[in-house]
Structure formats: C-alpha cells, structure tokens
Amino acid sequence: MEGFYARRAGDGSLQGMADGLLLLAKHKNLEIMTQRVDKNATVWLTPGTDEDDFEFFFVHEGEMEIDIDGEKVSFRAGDSFYIHRLKNNTLMRCTQSALILYVSTCPVFSGEAYWQEELRGMLRRINEKDHYTRRHSRAVMRYAVRLYEELKEYCPGLTLEDYVLGALFHDVGKCNVPGEILRKKDRLTNDEYRVIMHHPVDSGRILEPIYGKRIAELARTHHERMDGSGYPCGLMGEEIPFEARILAVADVFDAMTSDRGYNKVKSFEEAAQELYDLDRIFDRRVTETLVRLVQAGEITVAEDEEDE
Ligand SMILES: [Fe+2]
Ligand SMILES: [Fe+2]
C-alpha cells in the first residue's frame, strides 16, 4: 500500500549490533529505536547539541535508576521520560536488564562519533574471539599511516583522517569469521581458508556506508598482491589502489614482527628487508620506504601495543 512501511521482528541491520541499539524507523532527523541494556550497564544521557533536541524513552522491560540532582530515581516497565534542554550529563544505570523504546530527534546513528564507537566495539568483539586482532589493527594503523605520510603524493584526494580510520578498521570484517578459525594455529582447510578470504569483502561492506567507497575499497583490497596472487579478486599491479599497497605492506610487516603463537618473530630490520626482496608481491616504493624508516628508527613498537 502506498505510504505504508512495515518492518518485521528479526529484520536486522548493522546498527542493531551496537550497544544493543536497533533502528526501527527513521524520518529526516527523527529516529525510532529500541535499546537493550544489560543489568548493571550504564548509559549516559547527554544534553543535546541543539536547543530543540528531544529524546523520549519508554521502559518496555526491566528497571533502571537515573541520577536526578543527586537522587536515584527508579523507572520500571511502563514508565517513560524524555529529555529536552538537559543541563548536565546524567547517568542511567539498569538495575535489571532492560528493553527501552527510544525516540530521538537528534540523529544517534548518523554521527561520526557513534560509528567510530560502533566499529571499535566490533574490534573489541573480534578481539574476544582472537586476541591478535585489536593489537594488530592498531599496530597496522601506525605503520600504514607513517608510510602513507611519506607516500601520500601517490594517493591524491585521500585525507589522512580517512586513511587512519580505513587502516584501523581494515580487518573489521573478521567479525563474521568464527573464533576457532581465527585462532587456528595449524594449516587451514580449504573451506576455512574460503571463510577467511571473505573478510576483506565484509570489511568493505561495513565501512562503505560510514566512510564511503574509497575507504571501503582500501579494506577490500588489502590482501591483493602485485603479482595477482592475493585475494579476494586476484587484482594485479596498477589495479590495486596505491593506498591498499601501503596497507598490505604494513599488514604483513606486523604479522611478521609480532608473536602469534606459531610463527618465528622477526626483527623489524629482517622483516622490512624480506618484504623489500619480495618485489613481485609488494610495491617497491612502499617497501623501500619501509626499509628506510626502519633503518632511521622511525618505526617502533608503541608501549600499549606490546602486551595485550
Ligand atoms: Fe586482513
Ligand atoms: Fe590485517
């Protein structure tokens, strides 16, 4: 029927994966959501950025306490409240796991900060399956960004901010890979390998609506190799965006120099030289720069990355 829109229970969306938030409907800036909050979890209620911002909460299930002027006030199933021109941040704590209907006139889902938090949450969840991924993501981002700074003339039109985010979240598609496969130390079966090979495509699919086509493409092509031996598409040479050739080097450099429990850990010098020698596989301009930066002591392990 024209003008009638339905949404069935179980229709998922990417948004539903964060903080238990699920977007049910959206019209201009108006968003209608449900939010599941675990027992003892806390949520900040924050003043809107605009005077007209209005946020309404209906407690469908569970119970929560809100700190109102130093006093804890309880809300139970059937209760509701709204915030409008709130003066200070206010903490809401769920004393029982809760399901809330949440209506907001200030977009919760379109904010950049929200998405970054969402993606960081995804990295944390991948990290629960495989401790390697989160540390790896941050290390790769640092190496890739340092290389990008030296080589940005080959990546016109790409901002540093975008590159940082693309590099940090390049493996976010691993959220769809089962933990047993991510953690497996023995050789993968063909089927398992096929599952792993899908993660760049999934990373691209997740990043595209947030950061656009170019960053999605960066994630999608970070396992492609100059001689066509990479995945998922077997692209060759110039078919691979330059920024992805940088990311590929940073990615493998971290894999070679960090302890994954089954590999021989190489020194930065050894790894950089080895990558430089693989000139059919990696772009020489990138590996040359890596060797130079390593020799100059400009690529180092950050303290917070050493153990995690
Ligand atoms: Fe990857
Ligand atoms: Fe990676």
Residue 111 pLDDT > 50: yes
Contact (Cβ atoms closer than 8 angstroms) between residue 21 and residue 13:
no
pLDDT in tens, 264-308: 899 999 999 999 999 999 999 999 999 999 999 988 775 555 444
Whether the domain at 14-104 and the domain at 112-306 fall into the same CATH topology: no
pLDDT in tens, 25-62: 878 788 898 888 888 777 878 887 788 889 999 999 99
pLDDT in tens, 149-172: 999 999 998 888 888 889 999 999
CATH architecture label of 112-306? Orthogonal Bundle (1.10)
Nearest to 146 by CA among 290, 278, 305, 254: 290
b/e sequence 29-38, b meaning 16+ C-beta within 10 Å = eebbbbbbbe
Query: Was domain 14-104 assigned CATH 3.40.47.10?
Result: no
Average pLDDT over every residue of 177-188: 89
Nearest bound ligand to the CA of residue 254: 2
pTM: 0.66
Q: How far is the centre of ligand 1, averaged over its atoms, from the C-alpha of 287 (Å)?
A: 18
Tell me what percent of the chain is helix, strand and coil, each rounded to the nearest 5. 45, 20, 35
Task: State the Cα–Cα distance between residues 257 and 259, nearest whole angstrom.
Answer: 7
Task: State the Cα–Cα distance between residues 99 and 40, nearest whole angstrom.
Answer: 13
Residue 263: left if φ>0, alpha if ψ -120 to 50, beta else—which one? beta
Q: How far is the centre of ligand 1, averaged over its atoms, from the C-alpha of 252 (Å)?
A: 9
* Helix/strand/coil for 116: helix
Q: How far is the centre of ligand 2, averaged over its atoms, from the C-alpha of 46 (Å)?
A: 35
Which pLDDT value is given to residue 193?
A: 92
User: For residue 81, how far is the Cα from the chain centroid?
Assistant: 32
Q: How far is the centre of ligand 1, averaged over its atoms, from the C-alpha of 127 (Å)?
A: 14
Each domain of the chain, given as residue ranges in start order, spans 14-104, 112-306
Average pLDDT over every residue of 205-211: 84
Task: State the Cα–Cα distance between residues 184 and 304, nearest whole angstrom.
Answer: 25
